Amino acid sequence: MELLVITYSFLAFILVILIASPWGRKNDRKQGRIDKINNSVAQPVFQELQLSFYDRFLGKGIKRISEKLSRFAPKKKNANKTKTLEAIGKQLRYAGIFMEPSDFQFIKYAFLIGVMFLTVIIIIAVDMDPMVMLLVLMCGLLLGIMGPTMYLRSRVTGHQSGIRKQLPDAMDLLCVCIEAGLSFDAALLKVSQKLSGPFIDELLIVYREIQMGRTRRAALQNLCDATNLDELKTFASALVQAEQLGIPINNVMRAQSEQLRVERSQQAKEKGMKASIKMLVPMLLFIFPVVFIILMGPTVLNIIENF
């Protein structure tokens, strides 16, 4: 009886191998091709191809030109230039744009030259009065000077507001992941897999800095410096304090998420209260004059006809 069971088991094992071997060989060939592609991509030549067009061509060219132009700058202005570059670097980081400040400054000058060139072409191509020509020239100059700065400010506002909106939901998911048994670093990675947005990108940067050997406190401090949000500074300081005192992190994050939701609702109510006051400006400029013309127009015409 035992010999019969062993024989049937052996035959069943052989049968399973014969049925599954083609599928296994197919998967092995597929995995071999994937490994070959990954090894080829890991080479430096192919890694460079994974970069964006700006990083491969435009960024390098802009950096070379800016370095050459910086040689002709007066040495007395180096201190002011350093402060300006630091301020631009902070604004770029607040906007979530990973670019050198000197590159952005060069783009500003290039944009100004391009806008002025197009403005001159328009003035030459179209017959205009001298006053209209001067007005178009001034508008082009204003656009060339203020355009990149206004774009950067709008990006900063959008990036910071996106982080503020995403903070409570991300904290709740972090809390759930930590309660499920994950560490703080693993919870950051899990949240980045489930959500997407500006705050998730910042959390990924924190995770990579911790993996590279930086302390959690330093990584969270860099996060505060990169966002300039009071809510995020409170969150980071609470996490650092909880780690130092041995308080469970999930309790701190749950309290922080509830507080952030309350603050978000209060901000929404504040914006709703301010909306009625802000509506007075377009009403006074565009609606009331039309109403006055409709109401007072016939009366004024009758007075003019009589006198």
Bigger pLDDT: 62 vs 239 = 239
User: What is the per-residue pLDDT for 42?
Assistant: 45
User: Which of these three, 141, 159, 177, is where a domain ends?
Assistant: 159
% of the chain with per-residue pLDDT over 90:
0
Note whether 174 and 256 are same-domain residues: yes
Nearest residue to 93 via CA among 104, 108, 80 = 104
Kindly give, in sequence order, each residue whose CB lies less than 8 Å from that of residue 177, ignoring residues fewer than 6 positions away: 186, 187, 190, 191
For residue 123, give the amino acid letter.
I
Under the banding of pLDDT at 50, 70 and 90, the label for residue 40 is very low
Number of other residues whose CB lies within 10 A of the CB of residue 66: 18
Note whether 155 and 165 are same-domain residues: no
Mean per-residue pLDDT, 97-107: 83
Query: Rounded to whole angstroms, how far apart are CA atoms 234 and 47?
Result: 39
Decide if 56 contacts 48 (C-beta within 8 A): yes
Range of the structural domain that residue 187 is part of: 160-274
The CATH number that applies at residue 195 is 1.20.81
Decide if 92 contacts 99 (C-beta within 8 A): yes
Note whether 125 and 190 are same-domain residues: no
Q: Output the six-digit token pair for 146.
A: 């203020």
Q: Output the six-digit token pair for 269.
A: 């109510």
Query: Rounded to whole angstroms, how far apart are CA atoms 26 and 84?
Result: 60
Looking at every residue in the chain, the average pLDDT score rounds to 76
Domain count, the chain: 2
User: Which of these three, 159, 177, 200, is where a domain ends?
Assistant: 159
Note whether 149 and 78 are same-domain residues: yes
C-alpha angle 217-219-225 in degrees, rounded to nearest 5:
105
Nearest residue to 237 via CA among 254, 258, 222, 217 = 217
Note whether 151 and 254 are same-domain residues: no
Query: Rounded to whole angstroms, how far apart are CA atoms 251 and 239?
Result: 10
Note whether 190 and 93 are same-domain residues: no
Backbone angles phi, psi at 62, to 5 degrees: -65, -40
Note whether 138 and 182 are same-domain residues: no
Residue 39 maps to a domain: no
Note whether 165 and 265 are same-domain residues: yes
State the residue for tokens 């052996």: 10
Under the banding of pLDDT at 50, 70 and 90, the label for residue 41 is very low
Most confident of 29-43, 145-159, 179-193, 293-307: 145-159
Query: Rounded to whole angstroms, how far apart are CA atoms 138 and 141?
Result: 5
Note whether 89 and 173 are same-domain residues: no
Provide DSSP, 268-305.
HHHHHHHHHHHTHHHIIIIIHHHHHHHHHHHHHHHHHH
Residue 50 maps to a domain: no
Note whether 203 and 267 are same-domain residues: yes
Q: What is the SS3 string spanning 114-159? A: HHHHHHHHHHHHCCCCHHHHHHHHHHHHHHHHHHHHHHHHHHHHHH
User: What is the per-residue pLDDT for 239?
Assistant: 79
User: Which of these three, 110, 138, 159, is where a domain ends?
Assistant: 159
The model carries a pTM of 0.64
Decide if 62 contacts 103 (C-beta within 8 A): yes
